[in-house]
A = this chain, B = another copy of it.
Amino acid sequence: MADVRARIASRACPPGTRLPSVRAQAQAMKLSVSTVLEAYERLSAEGVLTSRRGAGFYVAGTVAPLALAAIGPKLDREVDPLWVSRQSLETDDATLKPGCGWMPTSWMYEEGVRRALRAAARADGSELTEYGPPLGLPSLRQHLSRRLAANGIDAPPAQIMLTDSGTQAIDLICRFLLEPGDTVLVDDPCYFNFHALLKAHRVTAIGVPYTPTGPDVEAFRAALEAHRPRLYITNSGIHNPTGAVLSPVVAHRVLKLAEGHGLTIVEDDIFADFESAPAPRLAAFDGLERVIHIGSFSKSISASMRCGFIAARADWMEALTDLKIATTFGGGRLAASIMLSVLTDSGYRRHMEAVRQRLAEHTATTIARLKPLGITPWLVPQAGMFLWCRLPTGVEAAPVARRCLQDGVVLAPGDAFSLSRSAGNFLRFNVAQTDDARIFTVLSRALAQAG
């Protein structure tokens, strides 16, 4: 019985496997036929096996499905990427969310989205009901091509494919380039959902320390040599969670190292529209040779309509399109069309200017409000909504986050972003979500309890 159980647990005998006949098993194990038969029948009574008349005994049950929560080290809920994502996504208007990764509704370009929806309601019928073409709405791809050119990225529309989101864009690239067991570099800290996404691909993520000007080049080199990764996923513009910006020198060095090691880089540029001065883009330096550039409109226009894109080398577009169709069929044509309406609306540019101004003001205010609590920014970001902050010495962010959550304040503790769990006394603040004074009262109380 123990032998059969062990083989089932190790998945050497998956469900549906026919076990050796009683006679064969008895012979192999040098046991009597009746002993083996009794063992099989007891296991059948327990539901481990099923027997079919005249056909022998089979392994019962269903296969253990892929549970991301069971992969990797067991983490405290507060720093578990899966739980942090869920916590932000649960809609409860009473909760304050200084830890969440997007702006409140009141900061978004609501009137522009409404206008685009009204226009969509009058659109051609095919736009309302039919699948989009394989690469996605041509007019949005043309528009994106021009936008990318403004950032020095040369991507003709034929090298741009629309996806259903930025996350789906990275997911598609992972499917395209990775095999289970491969290694992928990420920044430490980085956007926490990268950790969850890479788990889903059953690859090993390795963190490279992030500095105020990009990844630590020496650590990057050492990681390339030690782990031979296939992919590096990063943000060049406004880095999540630190708000740092890649410097041209680091961009150059990273690309040189990547070239030497046959490494492909995914540059997630989701915060492009929040920049006050454009940061160097790896895709611009590289010319989309080994850099895949992705983006979406979830942070700037709407996360409620799903639309993202991939810009990649020409010879990869066919296979990427096949993979997209196989796994999602046609893309969301209407969402693409609404994004295009908003992007080309004259009010959008003005709106984003106002948002950038407002974010700059809120960054200053939030820093000032955190100071009396002994919370200091690692870096004062040039732009964006994120403030990566150090707590007073010796204070751990996870228990602080737990206490604040009890009082209805969702924080983002540093270790959720850190593969090495070396950001235990950091918190990421979203300055667009810190208007309510209660956040600072609750936080202050939680810190006092921690001290």
Residues of chain A touching chain B, judged by Cβ–Cβ distance below 8 Å, are 14-18, 50, 52, 58-63, 65-69, 82, 85-86, 88-91, 93, 102, 105-106, 108, 110, 113-115, 117-118, 120-122, 125-134, 164-168, 171, 175-177, 180, 193, 196-197, 199-200, 224-225, 228-230, 259-264, 290, 298, 301-306, 316, 318-319, 321-323, 325-335
Contact = CB atoms under 8 A, between A and B. Distances in A.
A327 B316 CA distance: 21
A77 to B, nearest CB: 13
18 contacts: A14-B230, A68-B319, A69-B319, A86-B321, A89-B325, A89-B330, A90-B134, A105-B125, A114-B122, A117-B118, A118-B118, A128-B302, A130-B304, A164-B164, A196-B325, A196-B326, A303-B330, A305-B334
Contacts of A180: 180
B228 A17 contact: yes
A138 to B, nearest CB: 9
B66 A323 contact: yes
A225 B167 CA distance: 39
Contact of A89 (B60, B93, B133, B164): B133
Contact of A303 (B88, B113, B129): B129
B177 A66 contact: yes
B164 A328 contact: yes
A126 B105 contact: yes
Nearest to A83: B322
Contact of A63 (B82, B86, B171, B262): B262
Nearest to A326: B196
B67 A322 contact: yes
B322 A134 contact: no
Q: How many copies of this kind of chain does the complex include?
A: 2
Contacts of A108: 125, 128-129
Contacts of A171: 327-328
B16 A261 contact: yes
Given A167-B329, A327-B167, A332-B335, A133 B91 contact: yes
B129 A230 contact: no
Contacts of A175: 66, 200
A222 to B, nearest CB: 12
A134 B86 contact: yes
A54 to B, nearest CB: 12
A95 to B, nearest CB: 12
A199 B326 contact: yes
Contact of A65 (B82, B85, B319): B319
Contacts of A167: 327-329
B125 A14 contact: no
A438 to B, nearest CB: 20
Contact of A62 (B82, B290, B333): B290
A375 to B, nearest CB: 27
Nearest to A180: B180
A4 B97 CA distance: 55
B325 A85 contact: yes
A195 to B, nearest CB: 9
Contact of A326 (B17, B68, B318): B68
Given A67-B322, A118-B121, A167-B327, A133 B90 contact: yes
A90 B106 CA distance: 39
A335 to B, nearest CB: 7
Contact of A50 (B131, B229, B260): B260
A303 B304 CA distance: 17
